[in-house]
Structure 1
Amino acid sequence: MTARDARLHAFRPDLADARLKGQVSAERFVTGRPARIAASVADLKKSPRDDSAIDTQLIHGDEVLVFDETPGWAWVQAERDGYVGYVVQSAIVPREHAPTHRVIVPRTFVYPGPDLRFARAGELSMGALVTVTGQAETRGTAYALLSSGQAVVAGHIAPVEAVAEDYVAVAETFLNTPYLWGGVSGFGIDCSGLVQLSMLMAGRSVLRDTDMQEASVGDPIVPGADFSGLRRGDLVFWKGHVAIMTDAENMIHANGHTMMVSREGLREAVERIGYLYGGPTSFRRP
C-alpha cells in the first residue's frame, strides 16, 4: 500500500477513515461525524494528553470530522486543511447554524449583549466563523447579534464570501503577535500559520506545515544571486521555516528569534538564520 502522511490522513492500527479503505491497514473503518469547533481556539495534538505538544490549532467555527471519542478527547480531521489530531472533547459541537460571517481583525471580544461595557464573554481570532442573526446599536457602536445570543462589534466581521485583496497586508496586521509553535490565530502564531491564515483571508486555502507549503503553494521561482527579482507576496523557505516578502528586500515572519511576528531584511535574515539552519531552500510565488 502507498505510504500516507498521518498528518493529512486519519488512520491508526485500530481505526481509520472509511475513505481510506483499501489504502491503509486498520482493524476497522468508520465514517467521520460532522462537527464544528466551538472553542475560541482549540489545540490539535498528536496524542490525547494535556502535555502533548501542539501540532496546529483549529479556530472557532472550523468544520471537522470526528472519527473517535474517548473520555475528554476527540480524534478529528479538519475539513479546511485536512490536518488530523486530537482536540479536547469540549471544543466540538454539532453543526447546527451555517456560518454567515468571519472575523477580519486579528482579535476581537465577544459580549453577552450589544454593549462594550458588558463583561466580555469570550474572544475570537481572525478567521473565526460566526452566524449573525441580527444587528443592534449602542451609544453609536454597531453590533452583530450572534446565534449564540452574544454580540460582537459589527466592524470586526465581514460576510464569509468577502476576501482581502492582498494577503501580505493581512499578514502585516499581525505584527508583534506572539510567536507560538503550532499557533494559527491572532493570540499566537507560527511561521506557516501566518502564511496559512493570511492566505485564508484572501480566499485561498493552503496546507498547514512549512514542508507542505513548500511543495504546493504557487510556483517555484529562482531569484538572482543577490536575491534580485523577488517581489511582494513571494515566499522564502528555509528548512522548517517560511517568510513572506513585503517588497523586493524585506520580509515578515513569525519567528523564534524575536518570539513574535516581525519585519526583517531578507539579507540580514539569511545571514542570521544561516548560522544554525543554512540558507534558503527555495522560493515560491503564490
Structure 2
Amino acid sequence: MDITVEVTEKGDSQGVAILMHFGSTLPVMSPLPPADPRLFAHDPRRRWSEAPAPDGWRELHPALARAQARTSLRAAPDARATQVSEALPGEALERLADEGEWAWVRTPHDGYLGWVRQQEVGPAWAPELTVTALRAHAYAEPRVSALIVAELCRGARLSRGAGERVTEDHRCWQPVTLPDGQAAWVQEVILAKVDVSDPATFALSLLGAPYVWGGRSAWGLDCSGLTQLAYAACGAALPRDADQQEAALQRVAVPQRGDLAFFPGHVGLMLDGRRMVHANATAMAVSVDTLGEGDYGGRLLASLRGYGRWPT
C-alpha cells in the first residue's frame, strides 16, 4: 500500500517533511519515529537513521561541513525536487550521508534537513567575517567595475584574505576568501556592525524582496524565512517553518509590534494591532497588508489562527 501526500502550503503539515525524504509517494516499510522528520534523520526506504538506528540500518553520524555558496536544500536528491530551505554562503552544515552526486545535510542553526549537491558542500571552517548587508557582491579586484565573482547576503560567512586593505576613491576594500576557497574583494561597508533591536523594522527593510519558496535571504525568501531572518537579526533563533514557529512562541490574544500572526501554512510579523509585514505568495514579494482591510485582508483575518510572542 502506498500513501500519497499532497502539500499546498509550507509548514502546515508533516507532508513537507515526508516529501523531503520520500518524494510524493511513501512506501510503508517502517513506522516513522515520533520526532519531527524535518529535523530527525530517519529514512525507511534507504534504511538510514540517526541514533538509535533500528537493527540492520545504517546509523548516521553528522560531520561538520559548510555551504560553498547560497545553496538550495531540496526535498529529495533531485534537481527538480522542491526547495525546502536554503543554506547561506559559508554557513555551517552537518553532512549526514551521500547518495550519488547528492548529500543529505542539516543546517545546525535550526536543525533542518535537506538534500544538496555534493559540489556545493565544503569542509568545515572557522570564518572570521559575517556579511551584514542584505545583499552584496564579491569582486575579483578592489574596484566597483571589476568582475563580480559571488553573490552574498546577510549572514554569509567569509574569511580574511591574504594581503592588506585597499582604499580606492574613499572606498575601503577588504581581501577575503570565499567559502569555495576563491580569493576575492569586498567593500568593508558590507561587513559593518549593524545593531538591530526590532524585528519589525528589520522586516520592513526587506519590502519588495521576491517571494521564493524555501528562501532565506534578501535575494528571495518565503514567509517563515522572513520571520526567521528578522528575529535572527535581533539575536533570537526561531525554527524554520511556520508551524514550528507557532509552537515555539507564547500565545497572546492581542498583538503588538514584533509579534507573529499565524495562518494555515503562513506567518507574518505584526507592525501594530492590524498591519502585518510578510513574504506574500500572492504579491510574490514582501509586502505590508492590513488584517480585515479589503478582499485580501479580509481573507487573511478570516483564516487567522492566532498570535505568538517571543518569551520574555
Match of 1:155 in 2: 189
Match of 2:157 in 1: 129
User: Is the CA contact (8 Å cut-off) linking 1:11 and 1:26 kept in structure 2?
Assistant: no
Within the candidate set 261, 265, 268, 2:293 is matched to 268
Q: Which amino acid aligns with 1:260?
A: A
1:62 matched to 2:88: no
User: Is the CA contact (8 Å cut-off) linking 2:64 and 2:93 kept in structure 1?
Assistant: yes
Within the candidate set 259, 263, 273, 1:238 is matched to 263
1:43 matched to 2:52: no
| Cα separation, 2, equivalents of 1:6 and 1:250 | 34
Q: Relative to structure 1, is the Cα distance of residues 180 and 277 closer, same or farther in structure 2, using a 3 angstrom cutoff?
A: farther
Within the candidate set 259, 278, 281, 1:256 is matched to 281
TM-score, normalization by structure 2:
0.81
1:163, distance to aligned residue in structure 2 (A)? 5.0
Q: Which runs of 5+ in 1 are unaligned?
A: 224-229
| Cα separation, 2, equivalents of 1:59 and 1:262 | 23
| Cα separation, 1, equivalents of 2:272 and 2:172 | 36
User: Is the CA contact (8 Å cut-off) linking 1:102 and 1:128 kept in structure 2?
Assistant: yes
Tell me the C-alpha RMSD between the 2 structures. Answer: 2.1
Q: Name the SS for the 1:131 alignment partner.
A: strand
Q: Which amino acid aligns with 2:185?
A: A
| Cα separation, 2, equivalents of 1:265 and 1:26 | 55
User: Is the CA contact (8 Å cut-off) linking 2:142 and 2:186 kept in structure 1?
Assistant: yes
User: Is the CA contact (8 Å cut-off) linking 1:171 and 1:198 kept in structure 2?
Assistant: yes
1:77-116 alignment to 2 at 5 Å?
77-96=106-125, 98-116=126-144
Q: Which runs of 5+ in 2 are unaligned?
A: 1-31
Q: Name the SS for the 1:254 alignment partner.
A: strand
Give a deviation string over 1:19-42, Cα, whole Å, max 9, x none.
Answer: x316x6771213111100011x11
Match of 1:213 in 2: 245
| Cα separation, 2, equivalents of 1:101 and 1:201 | 16
User: Is the CA contact (8 Å cut-off) linking 1:168 and 1:233 kept in structure 2?
Assistant: yes
Match of 2:19 in 1: none
Q: Name the SS for the 2:183 alignment partner.
A: coil
Match of 2:306 in 1: 282
TM-score, normalization by structure 1:
0.88
| Cα separation, 1, equivalents of 2:235 and 2:101 | 34
1:276, distance to aligned residue in structure 2 (A)? 8.3
1:146 matched to 2:176: yes
Give a deviation string over 1:125-183, Cα, whole Å, max 9, x none.
Answer: 21212223453221111122213421112111246xx6522222221111100111111
Match of 1:177 in 2: 209
Match of 1:7 in 2: 38
Deviates more, 1:149-158 or 1:49-58: 149-158
1:83, distance to aligned residue in structure 2 (A)? 0.4
Give the total of aligned pairs.
271
Match of 1:204 in 2: 236
Q: Name the SS for the 1:121 alignment partner.
A: strand
Q: Relative to structure 1, is the Cα distance of residues 171 and 277 closer, same or farther in structure 2, using a 3 angstrom cutoff?
A: closer
Q: Relative to structure 1, is the Cα distance of residues 201 and 165 closer, same or farther in structure 2, using a 3 angstrom cutoff?
A: same
Q: Percent identity?
A: 30
Give a deviation string over 1:90-142, Cα, whole Å, max 9, x none.
Answer: 1110013x122222222101111221110111111212122234532211111
| Cα separation, 2, equivalents of 1:25 and 1:166 | 49
| Cα separation, 2, equivalents of 1:247 and 1:105 | 26
1:185, distance to aligned residue in structure 2 (A)? 1.1
User: Is the CA contact (8 Å cut-off) linking 1:238 and 1:279 kept in structure 2?
Assistant: yes
